[in-house]
Amino acid sequence: MRRGKRIAVLLLALLLALCLAGCEALEQAAAELWQGALPAASFAAEPSAAPSPGPSATAEPSPAPVLLPSAATAREAPPFDGSSPYAVLAENRPSFAGKDEPGAPFERYSPLDSLGRCGAATARIDRSLMPKEPRGEIGMVRPSGWQLTRYDFLEDRYLYNRCHLIGYQLTGENANEKNLITGTRYLNVQGMLPFENAVAACVRGGGTVLYRATPCFRGDDLVAYGVELEALSLGDGGEAVCFHVLCYNAQPGVEIDYATGRSRADGSITAPAASPSPEAPPTPGGSASPAPEEAQADYILNTSSMKFHLPSCPSAAEIAPHNRKAYAGSREILIEEGYSPCKVCKP
Ligand SMILES: [Zn+2]
């Protein structure tokens, strides 16, 4: 009996020790996740590729171990392999950590470079910068490398979004060409949004966050291979928000030519058989032979005059081949893209 009791006490102590060690490890893992992999919780739902917008992304971080790609700088980050929408950089420390000074809110956008590309966008964000109005139209902005490209296997069919460097929800900056890049839907929704949501939640709660989004280009590429995001909550040493990541400008199932923005399906994802596409095969940036595309086109575009025509329009026949593009899709999207209807055929 006595011996049994002693064993029980020993067991209890052992359990307690294990638990303490375990809790510490868990706590540390959770803290690392919170700082290094904020959106881990939302990525749990990733196999369904369901976007998880909204403030829910700030839910309790999952303590599940996540092996993330990491590197010292964006340039050294491993290439996108489909396993994670982002890589951790510089051990997750923003480069302005330690140099952060409290002060008035601001937002700064780099001028476009000679290739029309965006540079870093930086802001010290507090509640006063957040938008008070619903978002307006951004279709008139054509970021570098912009292509109107659709694939039927993508959730909203279009490969690219006009992707805000600093999200609209943070600074209310909308149709600013210095803040919009050609970004995949995956970059926008899977990559950047959960981080933006975390910043937004902190700011909404009264915090101030120093934030920088830097599009990363190789050489003269017109499309960024990723966006480097850094954030640090001020006044609390980054306790609420602290991260430094590279969100990949990639899209599973699509191979992107970053030099031009053109792309092609890599064959790893196909359209679900249940929804055959009567319209068109993917239109990879006009690199394919035009014949089969034109047969299924709803409209013919003149990419120089930015007019669109019915395929039967006589003016459409006169468009120079290098300005001509067949398009299958909606009129509204074309107009949002900046195209206007031909006055002859009135499409
Ligand atoms: Zn016409």
The secondary structure of 115-179 as a DSSP string is TS----EEEEE-GGGS-SS-----TT---TT----B-TTSTTSBSEEEEESS-HHHH---S-GGG
- pLDDT at 210 > cutoff 50: yes
- 262 within some domain: no
pLDDT at 72: 94
The pLDDT confidence band at residue 271, using thresholds 50, 70 and 90, is low
- Output 259 or 67, whichever has higher pLDDT: 259
- 306 alpha carbon to ligand 1 midpoint, in Å? 12
The pLDDT confidence band at residue 68, using thresholds 50, 70 and 90, is confident
The verdict on 316 and 229 lying in the same domain is: no
270-305 exposure pattern, b = at least 16 Cβ within 10 A, e = fewer:
ebeeeeebeebbbbbbbeeeeeebbeebbbbbbbee
- 291 alpha carbon to ligand 1 midpoint, in Å? 19
Q: Work out the mean pLDDT of the chain and round it to a whole number.
A: 79
The verdict on 251 and 295 lying in the same domain is: no
The verdict on 312 and 251 lying in the same domain is: no
Element (H, E) at 324: strand 324-327
- 24 within some domain: no
- 77 alpha carbon to ligand 1 midpoint, in Å? 48
User: DSSP H helical segments within the chain, as ranges?
Assistant: 2-36, 40-43, 168-171, 185, 193-204, 290-295, 314-317, 331-336
- 336 alpha carbon to ligand 1 midpoint, in Å? 18
The verdict on 300 and 244 lying in the same domain is: no
Element (H, E) at 106: strand 106-109
Contacts of 114 (CB under 8 A, 6+ apart): none
- 183 within some domain: yes
- 151 alpha carbon to ligand 1 midpoint, in Å? 26
pLDDT at 27: 39
- 318 alpha carbon to ligand 1 midpoint, in Å? 10
Domain limit, last residue, from 237, 256, 275: 256
- pLDDT at 190 > cutoff 60: yes
Output the six-digit token pair for 84: 């994670």
- 280 alpha carbon to ligand 1 midpoint, in Å? 21
Question: Residue 127 is part of a domain; what is its CATH number?
Answer: 3.40.570.10
Looking at residues 54-67, what average pLDDT do you find? 51
Contacts of 2 (CB under 8 A, 6+ apart): none
- 283 alpha carbon to ligand 1 midpoint, in Å? 21
Report d(CA 77, CA 203) in Å as an integer: 29
- 161 alpha carbon to ligand 1 midpoint, in Å? 27
Question: Which of 62-76, 172-186, 261-275, 290-304 shows the highest mean pLDDT?
Answer: 172-186
- 333 alpha carbon to ligand 1 midpoint, in Å? 18
The verdict on 86 and 224 lying in the same domain is: yes
Contact 95, 83 (CB under 8 A): no
- 308 alpha carbon to ligand 1 midpoint, in Å? 7
Output the six-digit token pair for 327: 């398009």
The verdict on 212 and 326 lying in the same domain is: no
* The model scores a pTM over 0.75: no
State the total domains in the chain: 2
Name the β-bridge partners of 162.
182
- 258 alpha carbon to ligand 1 midpoint, in Å? 32
- 284 within some domain: no
Q: Which domain holds residue 294?
A: 289-347
pLDDT in tens, 88-132: 999 999 998 877 677 899 999 999 999 999 999 999 999 999 988
Domain limit, last residue, from 256, 272, 305: 256
The verdict on 156 and 107 lying in the same domain is: yes
- 300 alpha carbon to ligand 1 midpoint, in Å? 8
- 156 alpha carbon to ligand 1 midpoint, in Å? 28
The verdict on 293 and 146 lying in the same domain is: no
Instruction: Provide the percentage of residues in the chain whose pLDDT is more than 70.
Output: 73
The pLDDT confidence band at residue 32, using thresholds 50, 70 and 90, is very low
- 347 alpha carbon to ligand 1 midpoint, in Å? 7
Domain limit, last residue, from 199, 233, 256: 256
The verdict on 136 and 74 lying in the same domain is: yes
- 311 alpha carbon to ligand 1 midpoint, in Å? 8
Single out the residue of 242, 191, 202 nearest to residue 55, CA to CA.
202
The pLDDT confidence band at residue 276, using thresholds 50, 70 and 90, is very low
The verdict on 188 and 116 lying in the same domain is: yes
